[in-house]
Amino acid sequence: MNPNHQDERARIRQAIDRLLAGQATVSNGSLTAAALAAEARVHRMALMKRHADLKNDFYERVRTETGQTPEPEERLRQTVTRLKQTITEQSAEIHALRQQVIRLTLVAAVLTHDRSVRPGTRLNNVSVLRPGPAEARRADDAPRR
């Protein structure tokens, strides 16, 4: 491993100890990866990519030594809870819309079937829907062919 990387790893380990002891010198002292990177004077992406094992060790120590849930994990849990609620609401809405599609399809089938039956023909299994006053007027106003 690159000697520069070894130096970074040593600085990160020291920064972990300082943050967990509550003796931050450079960062704001929060128990996050961003604060760890700032405290170690390492670029945040270097911590995330090259030294991911140290970042994971930091979060594990935060969990065990302080009894806290790391902030990123807490945010993810809140996001998961919010998304589950959204899924539940959307599932209910989808169910209601599917029921409405079924009802509208049945109405369209009845209306289509009603028009295809000759006047005066009586069917035993169909209830004819009579048009309301507005529909009757529109039918009377329609041009005759």
What gap in Å lies between CA 125 and CA 122, rounded to an integer? 9
**pLDDT tens digits for 55-75?**
999 988 888 888 888 888 888
pLDDT tens digits along 63-121:
888 888 888 888 899 999 999 999 999 999 999 999 999 999 998 888 887 666 566 66
Are 79 and 105 found together in one domain? yes
Contact of 38 with 63, CB cutoff 8 Å: no
Query: In this predicted structure, what is the pLDDT of residue 83?
Result: 97
Q: Are residues 27 and 7 in the same domain?
A: yes
Residue 140 has pLDDT above 70, yes or no: no
DSSP notation for 52-79: HHHHHHHHHHIIIII-PPPHHHHHHHHH
Question: Does 13 fall in a domain?
Answer: yes
Q: Is 77 found in the same domain as 64? A: no
Indicate whether this model's pTM tops 0.85: no
Question: Does residue 94 form part of some domain?
Answer: yes
- Same domain assignment for residues 10 and 58: yes
Residues 78, 57: one domain? no
Residue 101 inside a domain? The answer is yes
What pLDDT was estimated at residue 136? 56
Whether residue 142 is predicted with pLDDT greater than 80 in this model: the reply is no
**Range of the structural domain that residue 94 is part of:** 73-117+129-140
User: What pLDDT is stored for residue 95 in this prediction?
Assistant: 95
Q: Could you tell me if 86 and 107 lie in one domain?
A: yes
In a shared domain, residues 94 and 136: yes
Residues 80 and 60 in one domain: no
Task: With respect to residue 60, please indicate whether it lies within any of the assigned structural domains.
Answer: yes
Mean pLDDT of the chain: 83
Instruction: Locate 142 and state its tokens.
Output: 């329609």
Q: What is the mean pLDDT of residues 44-61?
A: 91
Q: How many structural domains comprise the chain? A: 2
* Whether residues 51 and 29 fall in one domain: yes
Tell me: do 77 and 133 sit in the same domain: yes
